[in-house]
Structure 1
Amino acid sequence: MDQVKFGTELISRLMDHLSSQLDGCVGVGLSVWPDGRLMRAVGRAAELDQLQLDGADGPLVVASRDERQTVGQVGGVDVVAVPGSWGNGGPVVLTVYLDHAPRGEDLKAIEEIEPLVATAASVVEFCAGEVLRADQMVRMVQHRRYIEQAKGLVMGARPCAPGEAFELLVRASQHANVKLRDVATALVLVVGGALEDSAEETVEPPRVAFDAARRLWDGLRK
């Protein structure tokens, strides 16, 4: 289909752009889960993604399983693995490989591009009749909206740039070992009491996410 061809080309351009924007980037990969199918790879990503798939371990595997941003090393190379949730069909995971430990500017650049890559990938899969269904695409958009709302709350409580607000949410999710989308949703509920334009089928986050959100909010107000 023409949409699939366009979507694939868009993914390639976005990943090439991300690679060019990051100093010391040695590879960028995009895989579809739960089957771990590699959709696109730049540089050493194909080799390093496959290494984790073969060993059933590493940041890529953890990010796909727990649906939370994961940082680590693979074969001596630093990696940031960022999942974009597609609902019950499993996430798409963007892996970015660097020759240094990820810095704030690296995470900011990844944050800006990852939603576009994940959305383009979802369109490709949907048009190809693969993993995605229309309702899963809607949920993915909802999850991203909640994350943006949570970032806005963090920025309001502690004047900071969007990238720093996102980092604080990521740290809270990693510390509590809970999905980023759950911490973000819980924070919106804790502070605002309701979700904007929420769908009836929205699932309430687990208690641990609410605990993490409250700790984050209490810390921001000190």
Structure 2
Amino acid sequence: MDHVKFGPELLSRLMEHLCSQLHGCRGVGLSVWPDGALLSAVGVAEQLDQAQVDGACGPLVDASRDERQVTGEVGGCHVVAVPGSWGDGGPVVLTVYLDHEPHAEDLKAIEETEPLVATAAAVVEFCSGEVLRADQMVRMVQHRRYIEQAKGLLMASRLCTPGEAFELLVRASQHANAKLRDVAIALVLVVGGELEDNGDEVTLPPQIAYDTARRLWGALHV
């Protein structure tokens, strides 16, 4: 097996799969920050991601800086920029370009595919000899566990779908200008008291994440 080609091909196929699952999808991109290097792109993503990097503005840049999901418009397309943890250097950002404003089902499809894309990106970096980055990508995937825990709490409380629970987390984090991961961890700690043990040390979220989690949970039980 050609290991050098296997990683990029896997990542490219996953990006194409995500694009095919979204009605009106114009392109999907994945970039690594703080330098904004493009790991993979399909459709208009290569051009529009690069334009935002070169111009140092846009949803992609905002998501990389604030490490929270950002939506907006670029080049006549609606874009959803979803950051993931990337160690101390900066996040990796998945961008999805649509010909319409993103719906709940769009966010659900993005959410379901994002961990697979992150894992494939780790394979790409490992095949390229970037072991440190690969380890960071694996940690990004592990952080999804905490988001899944938070979603489970919301689903049980509100009797909603996974996509709806994820949208609640996204909206709460955006409204508070807090990282999605931090709000998810805070919600689990506020409601459940502890995180699932995966053997890793977890940095506790800032106070704003706890405040956001309490407001979100309280709003569901009024």
| TM-score, normalization by structure 2 | 0.93
Distance 1:91 1:155, change over 3 A: same
Is the 2:122–2:133 contact (alpha carbons within 8 Å) kept by the matching residues of 1? Answer: no
Is the 1:69–1:82 contact (alpha carbons within 8 Å) kept by the matching residues of 2? Answer: yes
Is the 1:84–1:115 contact (alpha carbons within 8 Å) kept by the matching residues of 2? Answer: no
SS in 1 for 2:167: helix
Match of 1:38 in 2: 38
Deviation at 1:126?
A: 3.2
Q: Supply the AA of the counterpart residue of 1:43.
A: G
Match of 1:93 in 2: 93
Deviation at 1:55?
A: 1.1
Is the 2:178–2:208 contact (alpha carbons within 8 Å) kept by the matching residues of 1? Answer: yes
Match of 2:185 in 1: 185
SS in 1 for 2:35: coil
Q: Supply the AA of the counterpart residue of 1:208.
A: I
Is the 1:86–1:132 contact (alpha carbons within 8 Å) kept by the matching residues of 2? Answer: no
Match of 1:64 in 2: 64
Distance 1:200 1:19, change over 3 A: closer
For 1:134 and 1:54, how far apart are their aligned partners in 2?
26
Is the 2:71–2:80 contact (alpha carbons within 8 Å) kept by the matching residues of 1? Answer: yes
Is the 2:11–2:117 contact (alpha carbons within 8 Å) kept by the matching residues of 1? Answer: yes
User: Which digits, 9 at most, give the CA deviation of each residue in 1:113-164, with x for residues without a partner?
Assistant: 1111011102221342337356534532331110000000000110000000
Can you give the 5+ residue segments of structure 1 that lack an aligned partner in the other structure? none
Alignment coverage as a number of residue pairs: 222
Identity of aligned residues (%): 77
For 1:14 and 1:27, how far apart are their aligned partners in 2?
12
Match of 1:207 in 2: 207
CA RMSD of aligned residues (A): 1.7
Match of 2:22 in 1: 22
